[in-house]
Amino acid sequence: MLQRFAILSFLLGCGHVGGDATPDATTPTPDGPPTPDAPSPDAPPVAPVCGNLAFTAGPFLDAVNAPGQQDAFAGVSGDGRTLLSQRRAVCSGAFQLMLTDGLGVQVVTRDITALPGLAQIDGTREGAVTLTADGLSLLGVAPGGQRLALATRSAIGATDFALAQATADFAAITVAAPGLLNNPVLSADRLELHYQLFNVGAGVDGIYESVRASTSAPFPAGTRAPELEQAQFFVTAISSDRLALFLEGPDGMVVLTRARTSDAFANPNGASPPPHVPGFRTRPTGDCQTLLGTCAGGCLNEDTCTMGH
């Protein structure tokens, strides 16, 4: 069993997964730790945290993979110590929701699908749930698929998830049936939200975004993202400084960037294809020194792996 956890334990113990890009949230408020407000859009550009997008696929994480089953990677905390994935043994079946906490050199993976505190989040549908950067909350699509819900636990390693008061912050993010929400992504500072809308119709389906000025304000109704983003399927992550956007599309994982959070995302390669990173469902840790994602295709062959420079 110790060998099963060896790779991830080594990475966690040596600080190679995530580093210290996000603070250790051990004493959160009922809805998670406080987060800073947005920097001034007029502030001068700073060096982006994801300035180096040259990554190579690395080892698989045995601690979060089940042989012969589909493990769909769903989220990672900023420090890389907490992982969320969806698992199923039959390609057409419902998913189980699996949460992995790295507690020192010990890694614990739990099936949290049936926890009462997660009843307002549909973890059985692929892409319907993700993990917040502090590792304490799950943001997901509510049963039925027309709204979002946030569930929070008291500490890393705990399973006392409960519907958070901050769910009200997402009240404007809705769609009428038969439309469906999916693939929610919340920035580390909780000021920017990306999600997918589908099953409505041409010109409406696609990637949406919503930005608020402060965590004390609710998110406004989302707006359809620019056409450059619509060429991809959905957003998988936004970097901790909100200057790089990771998207999965027909040609795999691509990254769009910007100089300021007030700018629209653009292709840093201009007329050439945008930067690609390995895997799919790929997401960065807070310091963007490590990516995690799915590095094997074919449903029941899908497993989670790390990627480094």
Domains of the chain: 3-25+46-308 (2.115.10)
Q: Is the peptide bond before 178 cis (omega within 30 degrees of 0)?
A: yes
**6 membership: H or E segment, kind and range:** helix 6-14
Looking at residues 37-56, what average pLDDT do you find? Answer: 77
Q: Is the pLDDT of residue 103 over 70?
A: no
Q: How confident is the model at residue 3 (pLDDT cuts 50, 70, 90)?
A: very low
Compute the radius of gyration of the chain from its Cα atoms.
18
As a whole number, the mean pLDDT across the chain is: 88
Q: Is the pLDDT of residue 30 over 60?
A: no
Q: How confident is the model at residue 19 (pLDDT cuts 50, 70, 90)?
A: very low
Nearest to 242, CA basis, from 268, 217, 264, 269: 264
Residue bearing the bigger pLDDT, 171 or 106: 171
Token pair in block for residue 237 = 């992550």
**Strand-pair partners of 130:** 139
Q: How confident is the model at residue 77 (pLDDT cuts 50, 70, 90)?
A: very high
Q: What is the pLDDT of residue 23?
A: 36
Q: What is the pLDDT of residue 63?
A: 81
Token pair in block for residue 67 = 């042989």
Looking at residues 167-191, what average pLDDT do you find? Answer: 98
Looking at residues 91-110, what average pLDDT do you find? Answer: 87
Q: How far does the chain reach from its first CA to its final CA, in angstroms?
A: 29
Residues 6 or more apart whose Cβ sits within 8 Å of residue 109 = 63, 64, 98, 99, 100
Q: Using alpha carbons, list the distances in angstroms from residue 8 to 2, 58, 76, 159.
A: 11, 12, 13, 21
Q: What is the pLDDT of residue 297?
A: 80
Percent of the chain with pLDDT over 90: 80
> Judging by DSSP bridges, how do beta strands 276-277 and 252-257 pair with one another?
antiparallel
Q: How confident is the model at residue 306 (pLDDT cuts 50, 70, 90)?
A: very high
pTM confidence score: 0.87
Q: Is the pLDDT of residue 25 over 80?
A: no
Q: What is the pLDDT of residue 296?
A: 85
How far is residue 2's CA from residue 138's CA, in Å, rounded to a whole number? 28
Q: What is the pLDDT of residue 45?
A: 62
Q: What is the DSSP-derived secondary structure letter of residue 26? A: S
Residue bearing the bigger pLDDT, 62 or 249: 249
Looking at residues 275-292, what average pLDDT do you find? Answer: 97
| Residue 304 main-chain phi, psi, to 5 deg | -90, 140
Do residues 230 and 258 make contact, with C-beta atoms less than 8 angstroms apart?
no
How far is residue 250's CA from residue 23's CA, in Å, rounded to a whole number? 35
Q: What is the pLDDT of residue 1?
A: 39
Nearest to 59, CA basis, from 281, 279, 297: 279
Q: Is the pLDDT of residue 15 over 80?
A: no
